[in-house]
Amino acid sequence: MPRLKLALIIPFSVLLVACSEEKTSYPVYQVELKDFEVTVPAFGELESEQAELITAPGRQPMTIAWLAEENSFVKKGDIVARFDPDKLIQDSRDQELEMLLLAQDIAKSQAQQKQQLSDIDAEQHLVGEEFIFTDKFAIDDVRLYSKLEIIDTMQNRDFLTAKDTFLEWKEGSIDRQTKSAIDVLNIRQSGHKNKYDQHQAALNQLNVVAPYDGLLVYEKNWRGEKASIGQTVFPGATLAKLPNLNKLQAKLYVLANEAINLEEGQTVDVTLDALPEQSIAGTITKVSGFPRSIERRSPIKYYELTANIETTPNLTLQPGKKLSATIMVQPMEKQLVVPIQAIHHKEGENFVYLMSNGSFSKKVVKTGEKNLYFVVIEEGLAQGDTISLSIPENVS
């Protein structure tokens, strides 16, 4: 990360004022017009404005087993990444085993249904024979049988009728129960079949190839990490890209507490880390709406900016090159400025400690633009005034 650059490098006189009674010295600053500008340091890397993305195939997470060398030129059809098949093969076998077990359960349910229906059919056949016997020997002549015997015969027929009805209901119930059970097993089997098909499809997509000729550049994920061997990636995740080398831009990061009045259209001076003696002019084209962390488990947040850069015929540029930059927020001009540490705040007002006749008093001021070290005074002070850089005692 580049070291913070001074936005304004100007000498100023710090006087030591001694109060004769208290023998205490205070550092002071004499207000005057000085060259003032607001610049913000940034760092980042080059990237392409346009690029063909290479994404992870399939419909399930896969583990990277091999990657082509980054920043190498690849041709259409060249393998740029290969996924590990071991887990896919094991998962595929597991799903196949589950399908076989469910097929056995289905066959078992069908065999049980067949046996139950066979038993019911045998009972129905027996009931039918009993019906024939009852009808054949049923006599309702009271001269031959007593009334009790006749009633017993009629009750026996009613029982056979009820039993036949029950057997018909039981047969239908077994059909419905078996069908429901088999439907559930078929649904489970279909789920395992879908997973098995996904694994088989993934095994046929282990190799990721380049869709076009170009320079291979790996893409960072949301944690700021590029694709690496052993990393698990999800379907559709961007692994790499083939950038258009004729249209490059700078991706910049600015510390959140240093992001002062950043906006589109501001000029930026870019320097490649590999070529510190050469600078490239550019213009800010995009500023993120909020800061974010760019390193895993790091609480430090940055604003992300994009800047177009001027192409230089004698300078070879390619994506991924690290750079540092200086963003010009306010061009240099003469301003009445004081050091930031001289400004104090209380009850919504900004004030300084103004020295007059050897003593200090509070003086309310109106401040304007500021950089990392100085702030512009719009009202309240004049050129030649002397102010304290610390809090003096016995303020009048």
Compute the radius of gyration of the chain from its Cα atoms: 44
At 205, which amino acid appears?
Q
- 146 CB neighbour count, 10 Å cutoff: 9
| Residues sharing a CB contact under 8 Å with residue 304, sequence separation 6 or more, in sequence order | 251, 252, 253, 288, 292, 294
How confident is the prediction along the chain (396 residues), in pLDDT tens digits per residue? 443 333 333 343 444 444 444 444 789 999 999 998 889 999 999 988 888 899 998 888 899 999 999 888 999 999 999 999 998 899 999 999 999 999 999 999 999 988 988 888 888 788 777 767 666 655 554 444 555 554 455 556 677 777 778 888 888 888 898 899 999 999 999 999 999 998 888 888 899 999 988 889 898 887 778 899 999 999 889 999 898 888 889 999 999 988 888 999 999 999 999 888 888 999 999 999 999 988 878 889 999 999 999 877 677 788 888 999 999 998 888 999 999 999 999 888 999 999 988 889 999 999 998 887 899 999 999 999 999 999 888 787
- 210: closest CA among 84, 69, 62? 69
Instruction: Please give the DSSP secondary-structure letter assigned to residue 297.
Output: T
Q: Which residue has the tokens 């990061």?
A: 253
Q: For residue 275, what pLDDT is reported?
A: 87
Q: Compute CA distances 305 → 6, 42, 254, 270, 380, whole Å.
A: 21, 9, 8, 13, 36
Q: What does the domain layout of the chain look like in residue ranges?
A: 15-36+333-388, 51-83+212-243, 87-203
- Top-level CATH class of 15-36+333-388? mainly beta
What is the sign of the dihedral through the CA atoms of 168, 174, 177 and 178?
Answer: negative
What is the pTM for the complete model shown? 0.59
Q: Compute CA distances 6 → 29, 196, 207, 372, whole Å.
A: 19, 62, 50, 8
Report DSSP letters for 259-273, one per residue. --S--TT-EEEEEET
What fold does the segment set 51-83+212-243 form as a domain? OB fold (Dihydrolipoamide Acetyltransferase, E2P) (2.40.50)
| C-alpha span between 75 and 78 (Å, rounded) | 6
